[in-house]
Amino acid sequence: MKPRTIDIVVTHMILLLLSAVVLYPVLWVLKLALTPGGQLGADPSPIPVPSHFDLSNFRAFLFARDFNGNPLFLYQLGNSLLVSGVATLIGVLFALSAAFAFSRFAFTGREAGLKLMLVSQMFPAVVTAVPLIVILDGLGLFGTTAGLVLIYATASVPFCIWMLKGFFDTIPRDLEESARLDGAGSFVIFWKIMLPLVRPGIAVTALFSFMTAWNEFIMASIFLDDVTRYTLPVTLQQAVGGYDPDWGLFAAGSLLLSIPVVLVFFVVQRHMVQGLTAGAVKG
């Protein structure tokens, strides 16, 4: 039945209202980023439309340099991409085989292992800061990018296992049993059948893992002591962490910091929308 005109109008009005609610804070951030001075009360107007078009906050964030003249944004952008990318890659690679085993095999300690990994995600990361400092200092990795990658990758593995296990659980066991009847072993089933089917799950898990590592700043601020090794969230937090917070710089940095995450989302979304049974009819 064709929808009535009034139903269409009401639906669009509700969607416009919800969109306005969602976009209102974003527009305020944009307004603050384009307002020179960086003060929250500089423009008392409740309308989040920039009254200025000043890019000084963006220039200050992009072209900041340390005492030695090093371009901090380029250094920190590279650090953030390296740490987030490598930690995501390690976390997903280690979690894939473990998630497959937890989903398909029965072994001693299976339930206990799953529960322990779930419990480990309930505590804030800062609780483990002291033992991690001791461990990294003993390994000679304290204050290094490699040490931060190790922390993020270790923390992401339990999350990735739980996420990917859920996707493996949705795959019918009939496919696996048919492959075993044809003589396929566990590795062939995992590599040739399961991985193509779980590709959307890998994309979703990698996206969440990347976003978590990209936005994290507490552990990075604790374990990094060189400004050229900072990740971008650490610098962003320091813009408002003192006695004279620069909210304009913080807003400009927040907008710039969101661009890589949006790009990663657009890269992986084509894998996310594919059906879970797409791999079953290939080859």
Query: Does residue 20 fall inside a structural domain?
Result: no
Query: Does residue 18 fall inside a structural domain?
Result: no
Q: Identify the pLDDT of residue 277.
A: 40
Query: Does residue 12 fall inside a structural domain?
Result: no
Query: Does residue 70 fall inside a structural domain?
Result: no
Q: What is the percentage of the chain residues whose pLDDT exceeds 70? A: 89
pLDDT at residue 251 above 50? yes
**Highest mean pLDDT pick, 7-11, 27-31, 79-83:** 79-83
Query: Does residue 11 fall inside a structural domain?
Result: no
Q: Identify the pLDDT of residue 33.
A: 86
Query: Does residue 40 fall inside a structural domain?
Result: no
pLDDT at residue 281 above 70? no
For the segment 253-264, what is each residue's pLDDT rounded down to a tens digit? 999 999 988 888
| pTM assigned to the model | 0.83
Query: Does residue 46 fall inside a structural domain?
Result: no
Q: Identify the pLDDT of residue 282.
A: 42
pLDDT at residue 190 above 90? no
For the segment 41-50, what is each residue's pLDDT rounded down to a tens digit? 555 566 777 7
CB 223 within 8 A of CB 142: yes
Instruction: Please state the domain count of the chain.
Output: 1
Q: Identify the pLDDT of residue 107.
A: 86
Residue ranges making up the domain that contains 229: 75-281
Query: Does residue 264 fall inside a structural domain?
Result: yes
For the segment 135-188, what is each residue's pLDDT rounded down to a tens digit? 999 988 898 999 999 999 998 999 999 989 988 988 888 888 888 888 888 888
Query: CATH number of the domain that 109 lies in?
Result: 1.10.3720.10
